[in-house]
Amino acid sequence: MKKALSLSVFVLALGLTGAAFAQGFQGQSSPTSMPMGGFKGPGLAPSTVEQALNLSDDTAVVLEGNIERSLGDEKYLFKDATGSVTVEIDNKDWRGITVTPEDVVVIQGEVDKDFFKTEIDVDTISLKNK
């Protein structure tokens, strides 16, 4: 008898939870069709390559400039008016955009310092709005 009562309480609670969850999405075909939200407002100000090379390891950075060439293995030479730095852009981070050396891009990532080199590990890349 106790098992049947426990099972009934569990099923009732599960049903109420599901109904409350579904009510939060009224008018939506499914939770996955909801638009994604996030912060809209000021963020990190763009840095220069020269400044980025002097920042500490794992410091967040935003750079504007050009990708001059591929260095292989998801690494590229990035350049702005103050210098050049190697950036690592994973294939998934391109998100379908195509870039030429003439395009000005905005990259967001973090400084990756080793003993003998400094690189930028890119999280996002986008074409700069003109």
For position 20, what pLDDT does the model report? 46
d(CA 61, CA 87): 12
> Taking residues 106-120, what's their average pLDDT?
95
Chain center to CA of 54: 23
For position 39, what pLDDT does the model report? 72
d(CA 22, CA 105): 41
Which pTM was predicted? 0.68
**10 pLDDT above the threshold of 60:** no
For position 102, what pLDDT does the model report? 96
For position 129, what pLDDT does the model report? 83
> Taking residues 12-22, what's their average pLDDT?
49
Contact 20, 31 (CB under 8 A): no
Q: Which two tokens stand for residue 9?
A: 């309480």
pLDDT-derived band at 27, boundaries 50, 70, 90:
very low
For position 44, what pLDDT does the model report? 81
d(CA 103, CA 100): 5
* 86-109 tens-digit pLDDT: 999 999 999 999 999 999 999 999
Contact 125, 89 (CB under 8 A): yes
> Taking residues 67-89, what's their average pLDDT?
97
